[in-house]
């Protein structure tokens, strides 16, 4: 569990926040996952939007709350929790009903969620390449400098390796963009993951069996983003496609993912920026 310790937190005012308070961004996949979870649980929470496209997450005040500069962050009665899957598991323990992690399967679910989290930078690569498609560098130099210079740089008191991983990701993206080679490698990892999920969903309605769980939330959010990127789910993983259509129609999901649909003008701009190179073409699907 990633609950920060006192020395990690330099924006001290959050220590006085009561109840469930969430720092998040509307279009962030990890934030969407957490918000769907909160909706399904019916947990009342207070919203603190963080403007990721404006790089507010790289400003000193936010790095004083999460030294990794990532959303979402949960402040629960003054305790600061980072990492979306840890936040979800923490809230599941505190608000057990309705169950979204089957009893007795906590460790199995934690391992399966880790697999999902391990693919997060691959999701980001495909999102930037095929969904957001920014015309210039994904992060302006000044924002990156602020990220590097600010925050405690520690998580649970230890120098944070994860921040370095993030810095290297953005520095490489600034140098190279999101190349065909990287996009293809990321897409192939998802193909393997969704092949396995397709087999599971041929036998049962949800990823953990007969009931909806946090795994359905986590993977639906990935499926949804990748579908926006042009990943051909219906052709490659028909069971996943049918399961995703069913979940997308539930109000608890629809409310959080609906906004990311592009307007026709945005779609045209992205298509032009990609010069006709779709995800299917680049990945060889």
Ligand X SMILES: N[C@@H](CCC(=O)N[C@@H](CS)C(=O)NCC(=O)O)C(=O)O
The CB-of-15 to ligand X minimum distance in angstroms stands at: 21
For the CB of residue 239, give the shortest distance to ligand X in the complex, in Å: 26
To ligand X, the closest distance from the beta carbon of 272 in angstroms equals 23
Instruction: List C-alpha distances in Å: 212 to 43, 199, 215, 254.
Output: 17, 17, 8, 16
Shortest approach of ligand X to residue 170 CB, angstroms?
A: 8
Q: Which is nearer to ligand X, 71 or 80 (CB)?
A: 71
If the CB atoms of residues 76 and 201 are measured against ligand X, the closer one turns out to be 76
Instruction: State the minimum distance, in angstroms, from the CB of residue 234 to ligand X.
Output: 25
The answer to whether 71 and 31 are in contact (CB under 8 A) is yes
Residues that bind ligand X in the complex, under the rule CB under 6 A: 28-30, 52, 57, 70-71, 83-85, 117, 120
Q: Which residue lies nearer to ligand X by CB, 28 or 39?
A: 28
Whichever of 138 and 232 has its CB closer to ligand X, that residue is 138
Smallest separation (angstroms) from ligand X to the CB of 238: 27
Minimum distance from CB of 53 to ligand X (Å)?
8
Q: What is the dihedral of CA 219, 224, 230, 233, to 10 degrees?
A: 50
Q: Is the torsion defined by CA of 108, 255, 227, 143 positive or negative? A: negative
Query: 40 exposed, middle or buried (CB, 10 Å; 0-12, 13-18, 19+)?
Result: middle
Residue 129: partners with Cβ closer than 8 Å, 6 or more residues away: 178, 183, 229, 274, 279, 282
Q: 3-state class of 237 per DSSP?
A: coil
Q: Which helix (H) or strand (E) element contains residue 184?
A: helix 180-203
120 vs 189, beta carbon nearer ligand X: 120
Task: With residue 228 as reference, give the H or E element that holds it.
Answer: helix 214-229
DSSP three-state, residue 104: coil
Q: What is the token pair recorded at 121? A: 């930078």
Nearer to ligand X, 25 or 198 (CB): 25
Q: Which is nearer to ligand X, 35 or 198 (CB)?
A: 35
Handedness of CA 233, 250, 50, 27 (dihedral sign): positive
């Amino acid at each position: 569990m990633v609950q920060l310790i006192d020395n990690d937190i330099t924006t001290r005012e959050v220590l006085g926040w009561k109840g469930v308070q969430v720092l998040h961004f509307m279009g962030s996949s990890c934030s969407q996952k957490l918000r769907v979870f909160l909706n399904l649980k019916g947990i009342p929470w207070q919203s603190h939007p963080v403007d990721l496209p404006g790089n507010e997450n790289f400003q000193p005040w936010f790095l004083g709350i999460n030294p990794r500069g990532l959303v979402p962050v949960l402040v629960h009665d003054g305790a600061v929790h980072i990492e979306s899957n840890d936040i979800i598991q923490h809230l599941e323990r505190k608000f057990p009903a309705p169950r979204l992690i089957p009893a007795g399967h906590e460790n199995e679910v934690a391992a399966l969620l880790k697999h999902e989290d391990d693919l997060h930078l691959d999701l980001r690569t495909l999102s930037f390449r095929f969904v957001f498609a920014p015309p210039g560098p994904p992060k302006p130099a000044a924002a990156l400098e602020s990220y590097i210079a600010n925050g405690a740089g520690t998580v649970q008191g230890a120098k944070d390796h994860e921040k370095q991983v993030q810095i290297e990701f953005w520095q490489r993206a600034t140098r190279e963009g999101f190349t065909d080679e990287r996009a293809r490698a990321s897409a192939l990892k998802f193909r393997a993951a969704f092949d396995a999920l397709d087999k599971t969903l041929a036998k049962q309605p949800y990823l953990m069996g007969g009931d909806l769980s946090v795994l359905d939330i986590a993977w639906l959010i990935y499926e949804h983003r990748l579908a926006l990127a042009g990943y051909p789910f219906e052709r490659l993983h028909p069971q996943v496609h049918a399961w995703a259509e069913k979940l997308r129609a539930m109000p608890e999901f629809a409310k959080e993912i609906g906004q990311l649909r592009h307007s026709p003008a945005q779609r045209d701009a992205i298509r032009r920026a990609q010069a006709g190179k779709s995800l299917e073409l680049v990945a060889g699907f």
